[in-house]
Amino acid sequence: MVINITRNLRLANKGRQEEIIMTAGTKKRKLLALLGIFIFFLLNPPLMQTFNREASLGGIPALVLYIHLVWILAIAGLYAFSRSSSRE
């Protein structure tokens, strides 16, 4: 029974998901990809290198801070995408 329900759900979802993909819009996808690549870029030299120094803010080293901020940014971006996608 569970199988059926979930399968039906899945089948139904598939349909919806097609819509989601369709309506997710190439634009959004491109934005997401762009953000991802951007994040990757952020976490590589040279940008990493700029923060790779002995500086600290409130005791926390610049690098650590930088990395974590980027991380939070990534999560935020992902969250935003997720929200807008699931809303449709």
The residue ranges that bind other proteins (CB under 8 A) are 1-7, 9-10, 13-14, 17-18, 20-21, 24, 29, 32-33, 35-36, 39-40, 43-45, 48-49, 52-54, 56, 58-61, 63-64, 67-68, 71-72, 74-79, 81-82, 85-86
Separation of alpha carbons 71 and 80, rounded Å = 14
Separation of alpha carbons 20 and 83, rounded Å = 12
Separation of alpha carbons 6 and 19, rounded Å = 19
Q: Closest approach of Cβ 72 to other proteins, in Å?
A: 7
Q: Closest approach of Cβ 6 to other proteins, in Å?
A: 6
The full length of the chain comes to 88
